Amino acid sequence: MRRLASVRLGSVQQGEGETQSTGPIGAAPPPQAQTSRMWHVTLSVAGAETPLADIRRALEHLAHDHPFLLTSRYANDHAEIRYWEEASNLHDAAAVALRLWGEHRGSAGLPPWEIVGLEVIGRDTYHQRVSEGYGPPPAAPVGVHPF
């Protein structure tokens, strides 16, 4: 984008006579330094009954293509995927999680199930829950397992 040197800076009234410079009028504010955080994601899906072997094969394919997956548990009509996601905020982590199943349905052979649950929590919250005994146990063994 080309900026003209003669464009004056805009300002925003802060209160009691204070103003804050916002850059050229109409320009977007300068980008903030974004720091990534780790988010623990639990994605639950469910749908019509599917042979267990097909579900296992599809989840193993997904885990092979995306080694960030910690663990997957499955039954013939539902599954749960747990993993860590790096994102700048909860919205970004949740958006990635909500796309995961649909975007990889074809490539991994996942069943046409719908997302029925999503939990995204920060690292500190996850560890606090585990240490207090009311959170999910750490994902061990890692991999794809039946419920």
- Delimit the domains of the chain by residue range: 37-146
- Calculate what percentage of the chain has a pLDDT beyond 70: 73
pLDDT given for residue 140 in this prediction? 56
Mean pLDDT, rounded, for 65-87: 90
User: What would the mean pLDDT of 35-62 be, rounded to a whole number?
Assistant: 95
Class of the CATH-defined domain 37-146: alpha beta
**For residue 90, with 0-12 CB atoms within 10 Å meaning exposed, 13-18 middle and 19 or more buried, which class applies?**
middle
Predicted confidence (pLDDT) at residue 10 exceeds the cutoff of 50: no
pLDDT of residue 139: 59
CA 77/CA 54 separation, integer angstroms: 12
**Residue (of 21, 2, 19) closest to 10 by Cα position:** 21
Residue 18 confidence (pLDDT) above 70: no
Q: What is the mean pLDDT of residues 8-27?
A: 45
**Confidence (pLDDT) at 138:** 63
From residue 36, alpha-carbon distances to 83, 87, 89, 92 in Å are 16, 5, 7, 10
Name the token pair of 8: 């004056």
pLDDT score of 6 more than 70: no
Q: At what angle do helices 90-108 and 52-65 cross, to 10 degrees?
A: 120
